[in-house]
Every structure is written in structure tokens, then in C-alpha cells.
Amino acid sequence: MHKANSKLSPINTVEELEYRLSEPTEEDVATMSALKGDILILGAAGKMGPSLAKLAGRSILRAGIKKRVIAVARFSDSSVCSELETAGIETITCDLLKPGSLASLPQVENVVFMAARKFGTSGSEHLTWGMNTFLPGLVAERYRSSQIVAFSTGNVYGLQPVAQGGAVESTPVA
């Protein structure tokens, strides 16, 4: 967890923001030192994946240990793939819903599952269902002997009144 530092200068560019987001804390370095095995990040080209991958990579470097960070995504934007490779992150271009694709990925001890579909779901509900419902089960089966961290969202629900306490199972999806 990053601690706020009032002595930091303002962020003026996207590059400065990315650098700050991937700046490891002592706790990040200690966590990477204690973690056994390599890390596979599925859906690594999304909103948070590149920053997380670079944070993991920089933490490993600072710890002075040998461990792989492997970013897996469709990489529709090839610049994200290049950016990660420049940062020392291994990349694998892969459509996770394509039959056999998960089997082709390396077996690792640690999986971070970030693959999801949020934007542009109207008219492509089948793809949204596949990414957000079917794929997590396939990943859990494929990596059943690995540690898995799953990122998720509550954004399938519309905004709820604060006094209500948030969405519940009976809340209709937006």
C-alpha cells in the first residue's frame, strides 16, 4: 500500500504519473522478496495492469532477486506491449477466450486475474459474459495449484444512494 507523501512534487505528465504509480514502497519490495515463484498477470493491458506489472517488476529489481513478471493480454494497443517490454516485463499476446490459449501459457505459482470487459458491452453481451463469467472459471481450473488474486468490480450496478449502503444481490444490473 502506498503511503501519501506531502513532500512529493505535483504530477504534470502521464509519464510522471506512471512512474509514481510503479514506485515500490519498502513493503512492496519485502512482499516480492517473500513471494515464492513467478507472477503471471492476465489482462495486463487494461486500465490498471500496466502500472501493476511495472510496480511488480521494479519491486523485484529493487529487492535484487530473480523472478519473472509475465503480462498476458490481447495487446490491441501495441504501444502498451512495447511499454511493458521496455520496463523489463515479459509479454505474451493471447486471446484468453480462444480454445487452448490458457493451456499454452506458462505454469506459474502466482496469477493476478485482471481480464474483464467493462466498456462497450451493448450489443456484445455474449463477449461480456464470456470475459466476466466464463473465463474466470477456466482460469481457476487451469491454475488450480497456483495462488490467484482476482480483481473485480461493482460497476455492473448503477449508482446507489450512499444512505442505502451500496448494491446487494437483489439490485438489478445497470
- Give me the pLDDT at residue 144, please: 98
- Give me the pLDDT at residue 25, please: 95
- Give me the pLDDT at residue 120, please: 63
Burial status of residue 121 (CB atoms within 10 A of its CB: 0-12, 13-18, 19 or more): middle
Q: Nearest CA to 84 among 116, 112, 57, 113?
A: 57
| pLDDT tens digits for range 117-172 | 876 667 888 888 899 889 999 999 999 999 999 987 666 778 888 888 778 878 88
| 140 lies in some domain | yes
- Give me the pLDDT at residue 34, please: 97
| 1 lies in some domain | no
How many CB atoms are located within 10 Å of the residue 35 CB? 18
| 67 lies in some domain | yes
Give the structural domain span for 137. 22-152
Residue 36 reports pLDDT greater than 80:
yes
- Give me the pLDDT at residue 159, please: 83
| 125 lies in some domain | yes
DSSP string across 55-89: HHHHHHHHHT----EEEEE--SSHHHHHHHHHTT-
| pLDDT tens digits for range 54-87 | 999 999 999 999 999 999 999 999 999 999 999 9
- Give me the pLDDT at residue 1, please: 44
| 85 lies in some domain | yes
Q: Which residues pair with 150 in a beta bridge?
A: 113
Residue 2 reports pLDDT greater than 70:
no
- Give me the pLDDT at residue 27, please: 97
| 104 lies in some domain | yes
Total domains present in the chain? 1
- Give me the pLDDT at residue 31, please: 97
| 157 lies in some domain | no
- Looking at residue 52, which CATH number applies to its domain? 3.40.50.720
- Comparing 20 with 72, the larger pLDDT belongs to 72
Residue 32 reports pLDDT greater than 90:
yes
| 102 lies in some domain | yes
